[in-house]
Structure formats: C-alpha cells, structure tokens
A and B are shown apart, each in its own frame.
Chain A
C-alpha cells in the first residue's frame, strides 16, 4: 500500500483536475462570447472571467495540495 500511495495520489490529482478543466473551459468560452457580443463591456467581462476562473480553479488546487499530502 505504501508503494502505491504515490501513483494513487497522482491519479487522484488527475481526477481532481477534470472538473475544473471543464469548468474553466465553460467560463472562458462564455466570456469570449460575451466579449464578441458586446465589445464595450470587454473590461468588465474580463475581470469577472478571471474571478470565475479563480474560483473554479480552487478545486484543482485542493487536488494539488492533497497530492502532496497523500504522496507523503
């Protein structure tokens, strides 16, 4: 079990990165759409997009921390 903890932690990190990857794709795609529809709101949309990405990314970052904790 000890020998498996590193690889298992890596797989866990990979799984944790799937959801945020999809989420960031949705956030960025919709932001591009919003900017294309209303170019004058691009600054506001960009700020909100970074915020959305930051909150979505949190799950992947928790996975990253848990990888180090689990891999020991």
Chain B
C-alpha cells in the first residue's frame, strides 16, 4: 500500500498522503447506509455495538445462578457489585439502589465505548463525538434536577440561590455562583471532560501510529526514516496502554460524578 488515507475528503489518486484539512475530519465517519433519508454512519453502528456488547456481557454473566460462579461470571459480578456498592450505595447512601440501574447502564456503555479507542480494527472511541457525552450528561442533569425538586420541593432551588449556611452579605454572590455551577457548569463539564479526554487520546494515537507507519514503510516517498518510525511506534504503544487506563478511569469518573450530583439533590444540606 503506497497511499495512506487519513481523511475522508481525499482523492487518493492525486495526493500520496492525504492529510486532514482540519482535525475534525479524524472524527467524521462515512455513511454506511441510509433508511428513508436517515443516514446511518459508522459511529452510530459502533454505538449500537457498544450497547449490544454491554447487554451481552451482563446477560451471559448472570444467565444462570450458580453457587460457584464461573471465572467470567465472577468478573462481571465484580464489575456490577463495584458500581452498586462503591458508587451507588457508597456515594448516595442506602437509597442509592434506586439509581443503580442508570449508573450501571452509563458505566457499561461508557466503558465499552471508551475502550473501542484501543480495540484493534475499530480504533474509534464513540464517546469522542460530543453528542454522546452531552446526551448522557443531560440525562444525568434531568435526573438530579427532577430528584431535587421531588425530594425538597421548591426549597431545592431556594437552597441553591439563597444558601442559609453563608453570611447574609455573601448570599447573593454565593447563590449566583452556586446557581451557575449547578445548572450550567455541572452538565457542561461532565460532558466536556469525557469528550476532551477521548479526543486527545484519539488524536495522539492517530498521530503516533500513522507517522510510524509512514516512516517505516516509506509511504509517500519521504525518505526512509526507520529510526524515527520505531521511536514513534514505541511512544504510540506507550500511549496505547495509557489510553486503556484513561478510558476506564473516565467511565468511572463519569459514573461517580453522576452519583455525586444525584446525592447533592437527595441530601442537599451536605
């Protein structure tokens, strides 16, 4: 293979190495097929695949109740009980079991979606498309706002805008900051944190591995710089391992923060 196609908007017969005009093109995907004017692209298929894998893992992990679980069943059970005991019950409290299904669904989907970044032949984190983290954080936002109003009535809003634990002179300022932070910054940072981490990881991996490919195979006749190629490849695989850790950690942090935000609505005085 003499040519290397990185971008979609690329004519491989003209250019030897097609570089993306703008970094966004790394995250655009082809339309695979369309149903009645509704285009289905690779990112959407991967999203469904992530959901399917999450369901399949849980289904096969808990298909049969055994006294002594299989190794696979024990691993899935450890994952599920981690989300339930450490996140749902550990953060929200004993009534956190109610929110456990949502937290588990988010955790499994994000874990698999993030790990797609380092899965061979997929190599695309679905969570690096802003729509997915943003949608999940809006769902979290709706849950904690609705729970806050249901549990505390309008005292929830009052407690945020006019906090009783602060001296009177400071209340308008603190109230304004709290209002902005609760209703605007929380969902925004929740989404952007995941999105930014995944985008940065995908860009770094693409850069390192593509440049090592170019240098080692001499695609594009840049001259053989095998030494540089192997250097980039080594760094690339280092980042590969690092990205596994980042993917797991970001899924955990998203779930943890969702739980914390719900907890602040359930028990607003803490």
Show the binding face of A for B, using Cβ within 8 Å: 43, 47, 50-51, 54, 57-58, 61-62, 64-65
A51 touching B257 in the complex, CB below 8 Å, given contacts A61-B196, A64-B196:
yes
A43 partner residues in chain B, CB cutoff 8 A: 86
Q: List 27 A-B contacts (CB under 8 A).
A: A43-B86, A47-B86, A47-B90, A47-B91, A47-B256, A50-B252, A50-B253, A50-B256, A51-B256, A51-B260, A54-B189, A54-B193, A54-B253, A54-B256, A54-B257, A57-B189, A57-B193, A58-B185, A58-B189, A61-B189, A61-B192, A61-B196, A62-B188, A64-B192, A64-B196, A65-B188, A65-B192
Closest chain A residue to B252 by CB distance? A50
Tally the A-B contacts, defined by beta carbons under 8 Å: 32
The 6 closest A-B pairs by CB, nearest first: A58-B189, A61-B192, A61-B189, A64-B196, A54-B257, A61-B193
Per the bound structure, the CA–CA distance linking A27 and B67 in Å amounts to 43
Tell me the B216-268 residues at the A interface (CB within 8 Å). Answer: 252-253, 256-257, 260
Per the bound structure, the CA–CA distance linking A47 and B255 in Å amounts to 12
B contacts with A: majority SS: helix
Q: Let me know if B257 and A62 touch, CB within 8 A.
A: no
Tell me the B85-126 residues at the A interface (CB within 8 Å). Answer: 86, 90-91
A50 partner residues in chain B, CB cutoff 8 A: 252-253, 256
Among B86, B185, B189, B260, max chain A CB count under 10 A is at B189
Closest chain B residue to A59 by CB distance? B189
The size of the chain B interface, using a CB distance under 8 A, is: 14
Per the bound structure, the CA–CA distance linking A43 and B181 in Å amounts to 27
Per the bound structure, the CA–CA distance linking A57 and B188 in Å amounts to 12
Closest chain B residue to A43 by CB distance? B86
B86 partner residues in chain A, CB cutoff 8 A: 43, 47
Closest chain B residue to A44 by CB distance? B90
Closest chain B residue to A57 by CB distance? B193
A58 partner residues in chain B, CB cutoff 8 A: 185, 189
A51 partner residues in chain B, CB cutoff 8 A: 256-257, 260
Q: Would you give the shortest CB distance from B95 to chain A, in whole angstroms?
A: 19
Per the bound structure, the CA–CA distance linking A72 and B188 in Å amounts to 19
Per the bound structure, the CA–CA distance linking A47 and B85 in Å amounts to 13
Closest chain A residue to B91 by CB distance? A47
A65 partner residues in chain B, CB cutoff 8 A: 188, 192
B189 partner residues in chain A, CB cutoff 8 A: 54, 57-58, 61-62
